[in-house]
Copies of this chain bind each other. A is one copy, B any other.
């Protein structure tokens, strides 16, 4: 078995700590550098890191990535704040390091990625489609970002397939009962103490329904997706956006 040497940037943060632990537990990976705020990036090259995982901050991530790319180290990036302009900058840097790969992904939870993918694939086959997302009551936004994005993507798929609006004979509605309308897909936000983060996509046609549900019970759910990225990135030179590019779907 080939063992890949992995460095982690943001290694002492909450997410970084969990990633270090996951890398340590994987037989085909070796954790060679744990770098955090104040540490020199040279730790990565000194340790011979082949892949770096970056869960840091929008303020420092571009410098981190420039260092990695110019030293031929692949990167798997979960840090937020990637505008189109930043992605373009990365493509520019990568163009002169043809063998280096960078993955930038907004979401590493494999279950969430598959839920969205399947919801979009199925959308064109079901006249009815609604989303119920359920979260703890400390959440500020309703619907959740994931639910909103899922609904938009499903609405786009429905339009592309030439489908009309979801059937709905509601003539008497208590305000809000039918949820929020996102491009014709109704989204309902449940907020209940004891819940973590859950989403259910309900699709229906004559005599049958298909329900795709994702339950995230623990913030560590990004770890398997990060490892999938680490294991895949060396075979994907250039810039990749979204972990699903590495999933055989």
Chain A residues within CB distance 8 Å of chain B: 22, 109-112, 114-115, 118, 121-122, 124-130, 132, 134, 137-143, 148, 166-182, 186-196, 202-224, 228, 247-249
Identical copies in the complex: 4
CB contacts (< 8 Å) of A202 on chain B: these are 134, 190, 192
How far apart are the CA atoms of A71 and B114 in the complex, in Å?
45
- Nearest-neighbor residue (CB-CB) of A174 within chain B: B180
Q: Are B130 and A190 in contact (CB under 8 A)?
A: yes
Q: Are A180 and B175 in contact (CB under 8 A)?
A: yes
Q: Are B208 and A204 in contact (CB under 8 A)?
A: no
CB contacts (< 8 Å) of A248 on chain B: these are 121, 124
Q: Are A209 and B217 in contact (CB under 8 A)?
A: yes
CB contacts (< 8 Å) of A182 on chain B: these are 174
Given A177-B188, A186-B190, A206-B218, 17 additional A-B pairs, CB 8 A: A111-B203, A112-B208, A114-B122, A114-B125, A118-B212, A126-B193, A128-B137, A137-B169, A139-B170, A140-B171, A142-B177, A173-B180, A192-B209, A193-B204, A193-B205, A206-B221, A206-B224
